[in-house]
Every structure is written in C-alpha cells, then in structure tokens.
Amino acid sequence: MSLFRYQWAGPLDILMVIPAGQHCLFRVLRTPLPQPTNQQLTQLQRQQLQQSSVLLSSGNDGLLRFWKLESSKCDLIGVFRRHQSGINALDVYAMQDRMLLVVTGGDDNALVLTNYLITEDNSVVVLEEQILNSAHSTQITGAKFLSPRGNWLVSTGVDQRLRLWQRVAGSLQEHCSRFSCIPDIAAFTCWRQELFFLLPDHFTLKNNEDVVMVVGGEGLDVTLYVAKAEEAMISQTGYYLA
C-alpha cells in the first residue's frame, strides 16, 4: 500500500510504502480520528489528534485492517475477520469519543455493520456488530452511509439491486429496494447535493437534502433523488441524469 501527496498543479510525491500482506487490496479509506468530547485536552494533545487519522483497508482475504496514520509513519493497530472471502464494499462513519461505525460487504453476500472503539493506547475494540448473511442474492460491491447520523445506509451488488437499510434497536432492517438497469455492478457512491444561492452581495452555500446516487458497471447510472426523508429516498422514482 503506497501513500502519495498531491498539490494542485504540482507533482505527485510518494510519502511512504506500507507492507500490507500478501493479499490483494480492494478498498482503502481514510477517516479522521474522532476526538473525545468528555476530556480536557491540552493544546498539544489536540494538535496531535488533529494530525492523526485512521486508514482502513480490505482485500480478498476477508480481513479488515486498521492503520494509525501520522505525519511520518503508519502502524497496524487492528485486524478483524469480517467476511468469508473478499471485501468489496467499505464505508466508515466517524462518531464521537474515538468510535467508528464501519459497514462492509463481500463476496459472501453478507453485509456487516460494526461499531469500533479506538482506545487511547491505539488498540481497536469491537463494541457491537450486526451481520446480515444474505443481504443480497449475489456478491455485494458497494455500500455507503446515507444519513449524516449513520442510521441509514445503501448497499448494492451484482444482483442489480439498490437496498436501503435502517439501524433500528441494534439491528439492520431493510426498508425498500430498487432495481438498477446497470448489469455487473462494480462500483457505487452517493452524496448530498450542495447548492449555491446568489444573494445581493455574495454567494452562499446551502446544504440540500437532494441525494445523487451513482452506479457503475457495464455502463453508468446517475440518478437524482429530490429532497425527501431517508425512508422515502429510493422507494421513489428518481431523475435520471446520465
């Protein structure tokens, strides 16, 4: 695994090469380390927390790895078996008090949602996990948190289904699903729209509730879902963009 630094219109500089095992890597994500909210920290401690982050990597061995990334080094701090085989989908929601909510999807058709705690001595502890062994009828290739609170997420797979899930009382419940016209889905992402409004003296940025979902495979499907509650999002017909 290689880490690079890039500045706009500048060179691509390699920062470090990290031995990540003999497996093939499928997904790598970076997330800031959530700062504790109930502790009095010195200015130096706050700066150290702001400069540190966590890398998550997954591959064809079914293992999820946690790396503590700092300015000059990257250390492996945790390894967890999440799936029987390859992990194709990975997303993370940074909570508070050094907790991370991670969703993974794999070749075993399973969707796994796990709450991790990064302790002060940089070890990783599993607080809670939810496993759906048959979330899709084929391998899962994409999963993303939809809600800013982490209680709604979307998954997709080779079965050409977009499924909307809700975290309710410690379990994952399917709310609805939608068929995608894209065969052999290999990639998925979604984001909330940000709109610029022109006021008399300046532009202002407003967060909108519209969501864009992009499905990629043998073709590309870009669909806009207009402002609705999460539970009504993909159960309604979206506006096909591309």
Give the helix, strand, coil percentages of the chain, each rounded to 5.
Answer: 5, 55, 40
Residue 111 tokens read as 């969707």
pLDDT of residue 232: 56
Quick check: 236 and 213 in contact, CB under 8 A?
A: no
Could you give the dihedral angle defined by the CA atoms of residues 199, 202, 207 and 213, in that order, rounded to the nearest 10 degrees? Answer: 100
Domains contained in the chain, CATH given: 1-134 (2.130.10.10)
Could you tell me which of 135, 138, 116 has the C-alpha nearest to residue 127? 116
Q: Can you give the length of the chain in residues?
A: 242
Round to whole Å and give the CA distance between 110 and 41. 40
CB proximity list for 241: less than 8 A, separation 6 or greater: 212, 222, 223, 224
Could you tell me which of 119, 117, 120 has the C-alpha nearest to residue 128? 117
pLDDT in tens, the chain (242 residues): 888 888 888 888 888 888 877 788 889 999 887 766 555 556 555 555 556 789 999 999 999 999 998 877 888 999 999 999 999 999 999 888 889 999 999 999 999 999 999 998 889 999 999 999 999 999 999 999 987 678 889 999 999 999 989 888 778 889 888 888 899 999 999 887 765 544 555 554 455 567 888 999 999 998 877 755 555 555 555 555 54
Give φ, ψ of 94 to 5 degrees. -80, 115
71-79: long-range contacts, CB 8 A cutoff, minimum separation 24: 73/16, 74/3, 74/16, 74/18, 75/122, 77/118, 77/122, 77/123, 77/124, 78/116, 78/123, 78/124
Write down the pTM of the prediction. Answer: 0.82
CB proximity list for 166: less than 8 A, separation 6 or greater: 151, 152, 172, 173, 175, 230, 231
**Cα angle: 177, vertex 223, 179; to 5 degrees:** 30
CB proximity list for 169: less than 8 A, separation 6 or greater: none
Round to whole Å and give the CA distance between 101 and 188. 19
Quick check: 139 and 106 in contact, CB under 8 A?
A: yes
